[in-house]
Amino acid sequence: MSRIPHFALLVVQVFSLFFAPSSDAQRSYDLVILNGRVIDPESKSDSIRNLGITNGTIKTITTNKLSGRTVIDARGLVVSPGFIDLHQHGQNDENYRFKAMDGVTTALELEVGTGDVDSWYAQREQKSLINYGVSAGHIAARMKAMREPAAFLPSGDAARRAATDPEIREMQESLEQGLKRGAIAVGFGIQYTPSASRWEILEMFRVASRFGASCHVHLRHAGMKEPGSSIQALEEVISAAAITGAPLHVVHIQSTGGPATPKLLQMITEAKSRKLDITTECYPYIAGMTDIKSAIFDEGWQEVFGIDYKDLQWAATGERLTKDTFAEYRKTGGMVAVFSMTEEIVTAAIKSPVTMIASDGIMERGKGHPRTAGTYSRVLGNYVREQGALTLMDALAKMTLMPAQRLERRVPSMKNKGRIRVGADADLAIFDPRSIVDKATFQDPAKYAEGVRFVVVNGVLVIKDGQLQSNIYPGRPVRSPIN
């Protein structure tokens, strides 16, 4: 090659390096998010970047200029992976709207679960604002095996009668069937089925183990009182995990543990150091909520929780209960808030490196617990910003990466959630870290969180400038592959 053409080629190359459009800018994306503080807990990166999204997938993360059909300016806002709630009972449009306003892009019902996986998913297909998924539930399997009419929680035989061997076998078959149909996990509410023997629980863990499914367990007992403490109850399921090999996830550890919570967290940390696959979750409120008809309020509940009638609040009216109103409502059933925790316990749970954040939310026609609408904004506003109890990076890991990792062995698609990287699903929560705040209270639980400015679900904006968008249903099923 002669000298002059070579030089000319070099000039062209240098010119194109500086003046030609980069490949990012040549392309036009479906959605572009500019100038956001992009935080990814997997890579631990925290920097100002532009995102380009096409076909529901993150295609580029760059400092280059991008163009797209829709462009958002996220200057001053945090761009986080969308929050993944492993514990959301309410699974309809009313609930999904509250979740989205709180930054949640994936809401999973893994504690109670379902007895009919196919119809559960079919009911939500093309009708969901955010991503959804469910476990195969031991409670539902038990109610079916004992011929108790379907309900959210059992109050008859399924709560109070020991199962026969054939009934246990039938429950195992129900769980197997659900797992074969793509249930994400196996759910347990042992405190709601106190007559389920330890052997029965082991038999269910054995099924979960065969499918590589995590067991999401509401422990058999609450509080400190022995025998029958939350410590004993945690020993039961850590043993079950060790014996069977099933991964274990303990739900709402702070509401079950009460004053024993730091001890339970220590036990989980120690068990993890022995290579057991154990995780847990908490929500940022000093009261829980459940059905007053459930076995939790059987004789002796005051001693178990260390509380009295006045510490119960009837969700429908907001009234505190008395001996008389308790007896009256126990007959009819309904949701009741249980004020059994202290702020110290809740803070300890949120700060612990082993906990994820999960809401345990359920809203029915505007009635319920404020955790449904405010869990994530409350952690980010109160515990991160106001109290400095944990860093923003750690808090976001508990809301995104850790729940995704909990499920990804059985549900490989979760490897593309809970992260901001090229190829990941475009599920994003974009919020103002200076103003994000929960507005829902025990008196008025149906208040949207504030400060979440944009939410993206599979590349579609479901919240824009803080406003819920209507008549769009980009939510997709989160489901284990069906063989």
- 138 is a contact residue toward Zn ion (CB under 5 A): no
Binding span for Zn ion by CB under 5 A among 130-138, 202-210, 213-221, 468-476: 213-221
DSSP-assigned letter for residue 238: H
Binding span for Zn ion by CB under 5 A among 137-145, 211-219, 236-244, 387-395: 211-219
Q: Are 354 and 266 in contact (CB under 8 A)?
A: no
- Min separation Cβ 221 and Zn ion, Å: 13
- Min separation Cβ 192 and Zn ion, Å: 8
- Min separation Cβ 189 and Zn ion, Å: 6
Which residue among 89, 216, 218, 221 contacts Zn ion (CB under 5 A)? 218
Output the six-digit token pair for 176: 């197997």
Number of residues that bind Zn ion (CB under 5 A): 1
Cα–Cα dist 247/357, whole Å = 18
Cα–Cα dist 428/419, whole Å = 9
* CB-nearer residue toward Zn ion: 218 or 249: 218
Q: Are 113 and 135 in contact (CB under 8 A)?
A: yes
Binding span for Zn ion by CB under 5 A among 210-218, 238-246, 268-276, 320-328: 210-218
- 87 is a contact residue toward Zn ion (CB under 5 A): no
Cα–Cα dist 251/113, whole Å = 13
* CB-nearer residue toward Zn ion: 218 or 453: 218
φ and ψ at 217, to 5 degrees? Answer: -115, 125
- Min separation Cβ 410 and Zn ion, Å: 21
CB-nearest residue to Zn ion: 218
Residue among 192, 148, 197 at smallest CA distance from 168: 197
* CB-nearer residue toward Zn ion: 296 or 396: 296
Residue among 360, 376, 305 at smallest CA distance from 338: 305
- Residues whose CB is less than 8 angstroms from the CB of residue 446 and which lie 6 or more positions away in sequence, other chains included: 98, 363, 366, 367, 368, 373, 440
- 37 is a contact residue toward Zn ion (CB under 5 A): no
Binding span for Zn ion by CB under 5 A among 11-19, 215-223, 234-242, 443-451: 215-223
Say how many C-beta atoms besides its own lie within 10 A of residue 413's C-beta. 18
Q: Kindly provide the b/e burial profile for residues 221-231, where b requires at least 16 CB atoms within 10 angstroms of the residue's own CB.
A: bbbbbeebbbb
Question: Which residues are paired to 87 by β-bridges?
Answer: 109
- Min separation Cβ 423 and Zn ion, Å: 35
- Min separation Cβ 198 and Zn ion, Å: 19
Q: Are 308 and 302 in contact (CB under 8 A)?
A: yes
Binding span for Zn ion by CB under 5 A among 2-10, 18-26, 133-141, 217-225: 217-225
> How big is the chain, counted in residues?
483
Binding span for Zn ion by CB under 5 A among 214-222, 394-402, 432-440, 441-449: 214-222
* CB-nearer residue toward Zn ion: 97 or 218: 218
Does residue 42 sit in helix, strand or coil? coil
Residue numbers of the site for Zn ion (CB under 5 A)? Answer: 218
